[in-house]
A and B are shown apart, each in its own frame.
Chain A
């Protein structure tokens, strides 16, 4: 049996198949599968093509690269944990979602305090914090995870930031302030009982 070639399949997709092709299609499972595979591919390609980037999106991506790219001229600091206040297991059981964790980090002349609080939705947390130690106006904090979460928050004039609805997980945080970059590795958000090494 001679199966339908791609141009005949496309004609069928466009609803312009000849009577002979239509008859063949009705009796040929292989050509029906080929037709369906093409329908799905073209739908997927159409969908991808319809999501072409806008000029505004490309402009934002360029700006992002210039600002956060691999070789910004910044002085880098690695933050280290100096204090952690976390609820005991009893307190967690008693207070449930009201439990909150505070962590304090130092990085050169900087001090970073982070508060992690359940947001109310399952496995989501609200992150509040403050960076102090020098001029912080215009700074920002980036939070990224291996799983692919990424979010950022501007620091206000007091160095405070707020990131609502962060999924539980292990994160890296980066503060960019003036010419300084402060990196905080392995910030755990969520159930501390499941945290490796605790």
Chain B
């Protein structure tokens, strides 16, 4: 069995965690700063890659976004909006970096602000933020299982997961199913509770 909080509680807990991280950073707590980037650094790089950055450029975008964050975290009106702000900042930085480094004809269509619907891009950023939050909201074992079986390329076998987790091979499948159900529930909760972010395809 597993328990997932209500939509309102799930969303509120995610926002509280982000507020605590920002408050920690502003109090000069380096652990909060590192935790912030463990949580949302991959999101920042992912947004940069989607805009058209290569791996090295995405790493550059990460450093630039962090530079803005360290200078301006105290100006963030609602610290709970941190991940959305980071995603938007990453998009802006990535576009600026690409525009400054490549000739216009080589730019990815998404790299041109003229060709992108800002509302759609914002919505997309919010979806990625929600997925990241949902993944981080899972317990550690579920996260490991989903990473190994559903996200890793190539996926691990049930036998490999059973060995690494100390489970019987026959129990891996049911636990995986419970973890995926839990992930879906968290996503649905975050989607329902967030005023601006709704994922498509919710059944």
What is the interface of chain A, defined by CB distance below 8 A to chain B?
3, 5-7, 10, 30, 33-34, 36-38, 40-42, 44-54, 57-58, 60-62, 64-66, 68-71, 119, 121, 124, 142, 144-152, 164-165, 167, 172, 174
Contacts and interface: CB of A to CB of B under 8 A. Distances in A.
B5 interface: no
Contacts of A38: 201
B180 A152 contact: no
A3 to B, nearest CB: 7
Contacts of A53: 37-38, 41-42, 45, 62
Contacts of B101: 165
B100 A49 contact: no
A45 B135 contact: yes
A172 B100 CA distance: 20
B142 interface: no
Interface string B156-179: 000000000000000001001100
B59 interface: yes
A49 B152 CA distance: 9
Interface of B: 25-28, 30, 33-34, 37-38, 41-43, 45-46, 49-50, 58-59, 62-68, 70-75, 85, 88-90, 92-93, 96, 99-101, 104, 127-128, 131-132, 135, 146-147, 150-151, 153, 173, 176-177, 180-181, 184, 187, 199-203
B131 A45 contact: yes
A42 B151 contact: yes
A76 to B, nearest CB: 13
A169 to B, nearest CB: 10
A196 to B, nearest CB: 18
Contacts, number: 167
Contacts of B50: 47
28 contacts: A30-B203, A34-B201, A37-B202, A42-B150, A44-B128, A45-B146, A47-B46, A47-B49, A48-B42, A48-B46, A48-B132, A49-B135, A51-B49, A51-B58, A53-B42, A61-B33, A64-B63, A64-B67, A65-B33, A70-B26, A70-B27, A121-B99, A142-B71, A144-B71, A145-B68, A150-B67, A150-B93, A167-B96
B195 to A, nearest CB: 21
A62 to B, nearest CB: 6
Contact of A51 (B34, B45, B187, B200): B45
B134 to A, nearest CB: 9
The 7 closest A-B pairs by CB, nearest first: A37-B201, A165-B100, A148-B89, A150-B68, A51-B45, A150-B67, A148-B92
Contacts of B27: 70
A148 B184 CA distance: 32
A53 B33 CA distance: 14
Nearest to B187: A41
A60 B41 CA distance: 13
Contacts of B203: 3, 30, 33-34, 37
Contacts of A148: 65, 68, 85, 88-90, 92-93
A6 B181 contact: yes
Contacts of A37: 199-203
Output the residue of B27, B64, B201 with the most chain A CB within 10 A: B201
A150 B60 CA distance: 11
B173 A172 contact: no
B34 to A, nearest CB: 6
A153 to B, nearest CB: 12
A33 B203 CA distance: 8
Given A51-B41, A146-B72, 15 more contacts: A6-B181, A10-B150, A30-B203, A34-B203, A37-B200, A44-B128, A45-B146, A46-B153, A48-B131, A60-B63, A61-B63, A65-B34, A124-B99, A147-B89, A148-B89
